[in-house]
Amino acid sequence: MNAGEAIAEILKREGVELLLAYPVNHLIEAAAAGGIRPIIVRQERVGLHMADAIARLTSGRTIGVFAMQHGPGAENSFGGVAQAFSESIPILVLPMGYARRLAHVSPNFNSVNSMRTVTKMAEPVTSAEEIPHIFRRAFSRLRNGRGGPALIEIASDLFPEHLPGPLVYEPVIRTRYGPDRADVRRAAEALVGARRPVIYAGQGIHWACAWEPLKKLAELLGAPVATSLQGKSAFPEDHPLSLGAGGHSFPPMVPHFLGQADWILGAGCSFTETNFGIAMPKGKKLIHATLDPDHLNKDLRADIGLIGDAQLTLEALCADVERLAGQPRDRAAISAEIATVRRKWLDEWMPKLASEETPLSPYRVLWDLQRTVDVANTIITHDAGSPRDQLAPFWVTKKPLTYIGWGKTTQLGYGLGLAMGAKLVHPEKLCINVWGDAAIGFTGMDFETAVRERIPILSVLLNNFSMAMELPIMPVSTERYRATDISGDYAAMARAFGGYGERVTDPEEIVPAIRRGIEQTRKGIPALLEFITAKEIALSGR
């Protein structure tokens, strides 16, 4: 068995069925020969985004894998690897490397050296004999602890080399660890004694599949639940205790209840300080339940720390809260308060959500989208900038892993690959990416990949012919040089690629167009709906 055959066999034993890739990487042929389907993208970053979604939507049970050529392919991939690192996503990155004698010769790009800062592990394969050991280390890092990319660089001259004997490789184990029982008891006592406890849930709930114990704990405590943007859909947002998600924009229920909380339980979150997430109010008592001890006291001081898997932690908390409280706290008053704040907020925003104006209000487009699709059987993701901030506060999730929220860094164009990866994992669901005319400029060519590979997603494009978020901070360059102007006929582009494309300008055509787009996806055809919208810069919560 040569090196390529051995790697392909290891991937199969670890449950990998798809290889996202851009040539030339000799592993593509080896994987195809071994029965792993290669999906060739148009731009490396999109392949990494697709691998990202595969990991997210299986809670890490399936590892997304991306392979690319040495030199320019690896160089182009850096941004996608960095994004996955910032989001703590376990993906396996397999760049080809220069021949071993040239691997450290300048100016050749060495992926191991260059990407160490944005990976959990970066290691070269220098001999075929070491392949099983290196891949065992990589998959163990991917399946255990906090997520993040693992990178293995495979020298181009290694592929013909044979293993010295039969391949010996067993899939790695996945383990969990839980918090100290004494700390759990302290946390339970604090929460039961709290006057206005609030739970803030992050994406660790998704990775641990801890949705049920989160819901149970909230109902035991009568505690409202907010999520981070990455944790959105971890708690059903049609639940009376839901506050929604706190991102760059947010519904007012989130700051209202966080501001009045006496104890805040951060579950499955890092409490990372970021411009794209809501800031925790100062002076609050914090219980920080996180998988990674490095996150404890990183940006906020914790009064109680619970280190471990979110499911194990929340199950232990539920048991102690039940023992201490005896019965669930009456949540009628809190639920009514949440409903009052929500109703007032929606009343204020309804003129935009139901606007008849043209160009179209982007809020009207997204409001109609939510009222048209089967939300519980839809997976949706935003893109960076305005689409994220216009979608996240108003989209009401009902089931786990139906909203892919992201954004500790905010690379434009990320949503397309996420939607495509989601469709590969859940072909039975409607998978939507919402992006703007800036984002499509970064990754729009990969709509052709969706067409070619028969990945029938629905792309909702909000086109205002402008970088609208930059208008307030670039007034001179806009007025003098039109520096924020951009343009394009993207519906025509989608049709040119062989997909379905439609441009919509009339408010009365929003819902019919969405229905036409959905029908095309059911026929196996990717659809792009281009809505011509106003230069809207008002944000909920900002």
Is residue 425 within 8 Å of 58, Cβ to Cβ?
yes
DSSP 8-state assignment for residue 108: S
pLDDT at 542: 64
Short-list 255, 225, 221, 247, CA closest to 237: 225
Distance CA 58, CA 404 (A): 12
Cis peptide leading into residue 321 (ω within 30°): no
Average pLDDT over residues 318-344: 97
Q: Is the pLDDT of residue 130 over 80?
A: yes
Q: Is the pLDDT of residue 217 over 80?
A: yes
Confidence band, pLDDT 50/70/90 cuts, at residue 469: confident
pLDDT at 460: 98
**Burial zone of 296 (CB within 10 Å; 0-12 exposed, 13-18 middle, 19+ buried):** middle
User: What is the SS3 assignment for 38?
Assistant: strand
Looking at 194-266, list the stretches that DSSP marks H as alpha helix, in order from N- to C-terminal side. 204-207, 211-221, 253-260
User: What is the SS3 assignment for 171?
Assistant: coil
Indicate the class that CATH gives domain 354-532: alpha beta
Distance CA 152, CA 135 (A): 8
Distance CA 309, CA 61 (A): 15
Q: What percent of the chain has pLDDT over 90?
A: 92
Q: Is the pLDDT of residue 466 over 90?
A: no
Is residue 433 within 8 Å of 378, Cβ to Cβ?
no
pLDDT at 537: 73
Short-list 168, 134, 136, CA closest to 14: 136
Mean pLDDT over the full length of the chain:
96
Is residue 395 within 8 Å of 370, Cβ to Cβ?
yes
296: Cβ contacts below 8 Å, ≥ 6 apart: 288, 290, 302, 305, 307
pLDDT at 470: 80
Distance CA 11, CA 4 (A): 11
Q: How far is CA 502 from CA 182, 271, 371, 413, in A?
A: 59, 41, 20, 20
Q: Copy the structure tokens of residue 178.
A: 């839980």
Higher pLDDT, 77 or 473: 77
Q: Copy the structure tokens of residue 222.
A: 């009568």
Is residue 429 within 8 Å of 422, Cβ to Cβ?
yes
Q: Which residue has the tokens 């991917």?
A: 142
Confidence band, pLDDT 50/70/90 cuts, at residue 20: very high
Domain covering 181-337, topology: Rossmann fold (3.40.50)
Instruction: Flag the least confident range among 93-97, 236-240, 404-408.
Output: 404-408
Distance CA 515, CA 501 (A): 13
pTM of the predicted model as reported, rounded to 2 decimal places: 0.96
Is residue 447 within 8 Å of 494, Cβ to Cβ?
yes
Domain covering 3-155, topology: Rossmann fold (3.40.50)
Count of Cβ atoms closer than 10 Å to residue 374 Cβ? 10
* Tens digits of residue pLDDT in 482-519: 888 888 999 999 999 999 999 999 999 999 999 999 99
CA distance between the termini of the chain: 59
pLDDT at 241: 98
Average pLDDT over residues 383-407: 96
Distance CA 528, CA 459 (A): 5
Looking at 432-483, list the stretches that DSSP marks H as alpha helix, in order from N- to C-terminal side. 440-443, 447-452, 475-481
Q: Copy the structure tokens of residue 306.
A: 């619970």
Distance CA 143, CA 137 (A): 10
Confidence band, pLDDT 50/70/90 cuts, at residue 418: very high
Confidence band, pLDDT 50/70/90 cuts, at residue 465: confident
512: β partners: none
Q: Is the pLDDT of residue 40 over 80?
A: yes
Higher pLDDT, 290 or 248: 290
Q: Where in the chain is the domain with CATH 3.40.50.1220?
A: 181-337
Average pLDDT over residues 164-188: 97
Short-list 140, 201, 198, CA closest to 172: 140
Q: Where in the chain is the domain with CATH 3.40.50.970?
A: 3-155, 354-532
Interhelix angle 414-425/44-57, rounded to 10 degrees, is: 50
Distance CA 278, CA 244 (A): 12
Instruction: Flag the least confident range among 349-353, 356-360, 472-476.
Output: 472-476
E strand spans, 341-411? 378-381, 403-404
* Tens digits of residue pLDDT in 323-333: 999 899 999 99
